[in-house]
Amino acid sequence: HSTSRRQRQMCIRDRYIILLPFLLLAVACDGADDSPSREGSFQTLVGKNYLSVLPGTIQVGNFAGTFKLSIATNLVWSAVTEDEWIQLPARSGGKEVLTVNYAANDDVTTSRKAKITFSAEGVNDVIIEIVQSDKTFINPIAGIPDPWIIQHQGAYYVCKAHYNGINVSKSDKLTKINPTKAIWTAPKDNGTIKPWNTSHIWAPELHFIDGSWYVYYAAGRPIEESGGSYKMQRTGVLRSKTADPLGEYEDMGMLYTGDNYVAGIVPTVDNTCYAIDMGVLKIENKLYAVWSGTISKETGGDQRIYIAEMSNPWTICSNRVQISQPDQSWELVSGKVNEGPAFLQHDGKVFVVYSCNGSWTKDYRLAYLMLNIGDDPLNPSNWKKSPNAVFYRCDDTVNEDGVNGVGHCSFTKSPDGTEDWIVYHVKNRNHGSYGTGRSTFMQRFTWNADGTPNFGTPVGWGEPIVVPSGE
């Protein structure tokens, strides 16, 4: 949806991203064999010890069977499991592909989980999670781009842009999105009164903060007023009037996203900069806004990730601070874009997971910024960028639907709170436009031993997945 959103890079049949402790290795395949068992040959890194296992999460049915794990390492490794229904072969450290057997699940009414821990001296353990159940669902679950799902008191709420407004829905299942209800419609011009937010409603996010619901959204004026560009896009916020996220909201106005903050400043298009995809998070009891913006409101330029402090959920009280710009080869494939920040907190760390490259291209993918809790979020040097993209797939399909770039995510938990899930959109076909649509996907993810998220590989179009735990 952005204005600055391709060489061919790392299509899923040709390359995989391998996440190591603060090191990512590119894994190249020759592309000649598309059989499911082929895992390719791994490039080694001279002078670096590494251990990597793919995929990070295995999902199997209740029948007995086998699955394969691809192992890349220059060390002697071992693998153990405490789960009796998983049978590991004798240790075979030199092999690239490990075949694992699993037993049937006789209790078909419940799912079960197991873990395999891979270890080697001098590197962090790698933990592989196996989930077994015959209760499955199929992606995509909807056709919503920039999907935002939040869990609250046993229900899941979806927030989306709908024509020139914002809609919300409620469901008791993560995998089922019910019909949405309009909660806000953009204002219209009334004579000489020309509101800043009449057009182009993008990527709304629903947040529950201190007992109230807030929706952060991007909007602007008709592009005809700015020479066909979207440079007038800014961020506004709605506040709920009741405890019901599907109830009435009041428009709290534009948020300040500029470089010349003074106490009491009233945000306008003239004193702020382009700002989209805003979300908010609390770090050590302080509230911060994070969004995608451009360098200059006049000239635009590449999209970067900014952060600012908030005095309350509808007021930014500091200048914006840049914490990321597109400066790595893997985020400069098609367009200079960092956008769609979403947030995770785990093991003493904060992660801003963002999208890079053009969202209209097959190169769209996720990376993250990491902050140690206790460090100042407004100091750019405290944020560390992932060494590579961390979530990407490209089926390179033109005449049929497939996964052709992934991005703009949100995070939630399974109904019983035991699993982490990522919700994201995929580009349906490999065309350099939004014409063939974007679809809503979701899948579980895990965590690496070093505390970083392990999103694994995006699942395929129509691929069965075990339902979230507790659903």
How far apart CA 103 and CA 329 sit, in angstroms, is 44
Residues 6 or more apart in contact with residue 256 via CB below 8 angstroms: 265, 267, 271, 272, 308, 315, 316
Inter-CA distances, 166 with 163, 180, 217, 236, 367, Å: 8, 9, 9, 12, 27
Answer yes or no: 302 catalytic. Answer: no
**At residue 108, what is the residue type?**
V
The per-residue DSSP string of 95-129 comes to -SEEEEEE---S-TTS-EEEEEEEEETTS--EEEE
How far apart CA 10 and CA 12 sit, in angstroms, is 6
Q: Which of 285, 274, 243 is nearest to 377 (CA)?
A: 285
Answer yes or no: 107 catalytic. Answer: no
Distance of CA 319 to the CA centre of its chain: 26
Query: Residue 26: exposed, middle, or buried by beta-carbon count in 10 A (0-12, 13-18, 19+)?
Result: middle
Per-residue tokens: 385: 């960028």
Distance of CA 379 to the CA centre of its chain: 23
Q: Reduced to 3 DSSP states, what percent helix, strand and coil does the chain have, rounded to the nearest 5? A: 0, 45, 50
How far apart CA 383 and CA 322 sit, in angstroms, is 10
- Apex CA 175: angle with CA 180 and CA 426, to 5°? 85
Residue 44 gets which letter from DSSP?
Answer: P
Q: Which of 389, 228, 216 is nearest to 313 (CA)?
A: 216
Per-residue tokens: 133: 């159940």
How far apart CA 403 and CA 422 sit, in angstroms, is 15
Question: Reduced to 3 states, what is the DSSP secondary structure of residue 238?
Answer: strand
Out of 39, 129, 146, 420, pick the active-site residue: 146
Q: Which of 236, 174, 185, 216 is nearest to 340 (CA)?
A: 216
In the β-sheet with 365-372, what is the strand arrangement from edge to edge? 338-346, 349-356, 365-372, 384-385
Out of 331, 339, 363, 419, pick the active-site residue: 339
How far apart CA 328 and CA 387 sit, in angstroms, is 9
Catalytic residues, by residue number, are 146, 339
